[in-house]
Structure 1
Amino acid sequence: MVLISAIAAISLMAVITLICIMKRKAGGPSPIDEMEGRDFEQFCAELLRERGFVEVEVTKGSGDYGIDILAEKDGVTYAIQCKRYDTPVGVKAIQEAYAGRDYYDRMVGAVLTNQYFTAPAVEAAKKLKILLWDRGYLDSMMQE
């Protein structure tokens, strides 16, 4: 039963990714731009799994100290803040990833979004050493 659920989740992920790519190429809105926050977090978690991340865990939601996904890849641990926004992502998300990285005792903090980042957010991320994974990066992950 668990295997069937896992296969269904992977199949659903493949279909969503294909639809997203086709709609982006056609200039239409992508389904990820219409997802609810928790759905976007689950989508991102599955995408990370497909890209070789292990021990991928979506946090409980409230009281998560600003971190939505915990993961590991090549011995490096990550604390990831997901933002499914309609506008560019600001400094607050960077601050949350910074605080959450330390709270969860992870090596790397990152913000993954369907948008892009404001100039102040980029500056804050440089200063606080937070990875920024914007729409371009997300699209490239979906196309791999």
Structure 2
Amino acid sequence: MKSFPNREYFFNYTIQALTELGGSGSNNEINNKVIDILQLPEELLNKIHKDTNQTEFEYQMAWVRTMLKNQGLIENSKRGVWSIKTNQEITLPKFKIQFDKNQAKKVDEEITDVEEWKEKLLNVISENLSPNAFERLVQRILREKGFSQVEVTGRTGDGGIDGVGIAKINGILSFHIIFQCKRYKGKVGSKDIRDFRGAMVGRTDKGLFITTGMFTRDAISEASRDGAPVIDLIDGDLLVEKLKELGLGVSVEFKEEVTIDIEWFKNF
């Protein structure tokens, strides 16, 4: 596969991915499963979408999930987990959906609206925050998420370690973490992950790498490589989602929608 296929091409494979994942999955789980099924080459996966901070593949997969949702075939929870609707019987590979130009346009608008605020927020962070200010923003996010003793070290020559903290699980178990912040518009590669892991040796077994950019596929694989301490990753997309979730510098307004039930009035 040398060129990027039409987005409709991914409908069947998205349903197949969800099926193989047990009926549900996160964005990344679905994307990675589709990549594995189709064996998509790196040159296609690294292609950046012209209007967003996402790759072309990530953007098209978001479009596909939204269209499948609008067709009533899948649904997503508040935590961002997608699942096949329990009342749907989908037979692969014969499964097909029909949609017209208006439906496609509606999905385009939904995806564009989401990507616009994310891109704007990432630009605000990249253009208005210094590296030190970005570290303090990450510190605030971690505190809001329940981390304690979160400190920004700010030391140079420390193997890329920007801060430390203690994470607590369910108020019982706790463990030390170190984190690195990279205010960056490009892609973080596997070398950055290896260097960060090297700095972790003898300090902690848990690391967190936060960037305003993206991680390459190799970096993602390296972060969870067997036999090595796992490093959790937060890319720009997840970062702005966390800011929205926590209401940090982001507010969400819900528009009131009034529906008139004509049938109700016919009872009089």
TM-score by length of 1: 0.74
| Number of the residue aligned with 1:107 | 205
Relative to structure 1, the CA distance from residue 121 to residue 55 in structure 2 (aligned partners, 3 Å threshold; closer, same or farther) is: same
Bigger Rg over Cα: 2
> What are the superposed Cα offsets for residues 84-112 of structure 1, whole Å, 9 maximum, x if unpaired?
11211112321232122224x22311211
Higher helix share: 1
Q: What percentage of residue pairs aligned between the two structures are identical? A: 31
Superposed CA RMSD in Å reads 2.0
Rounded Cα–Cα distance in structure 2 between residues aligned with 1:82 and 1:109 = 11
Match status 1:56 vs 2:155: no
| Number of the residue aligned with 2:139 | 45
For 1:63, the aligned partner's letter is G
- SS of 2:181's partner is strand
Match status 1:89 vs 2:183: no
Match of 2:125 among 16, 19, 32: 32
For 1:132, the aligned partner's letter is L
Match status 1:122 vs 2:220: yes
For 2:158, the aligned partner's letter is D
Relative to structure 1, the CA distance from residue 106 to residue 24 in structure 2 (aligned partners, 3 Å threshold; closer, same or farther) is: farther
TM-score by length of 2: 0.42
> What are the superposed Cα offsets for residues 37-71 of structure 1, whole Å, 9 maximum, x if unpaired?
22211111111111111100111320222110101
For 2:197, the aligned partner's letter is Y
Moved more, 71-80 or 122-131: 122-131
Gaps of 5+ in 2: 1-114, 169-173, 246-268
Pairs aligned (count): 121
Relative to structure 1, the CA distance from residue 102 to residue 26 in structure 2 (aligned partners, 3 Å threshold; closer, same or farther) is: closer
- CA apart distance, 1:136: 2.3
| Number of the residue aligned with 1:5 | none
Any conservation in 2 of the 1:93–1:111 contact (CA below 8 Å)? no
- CA apart distance, 1:125: 1.0
- SS of 2:166's partner is strand
Gaps of 5+ in 1: 1-22
| Number of the residue aligned with 1:142 | 243
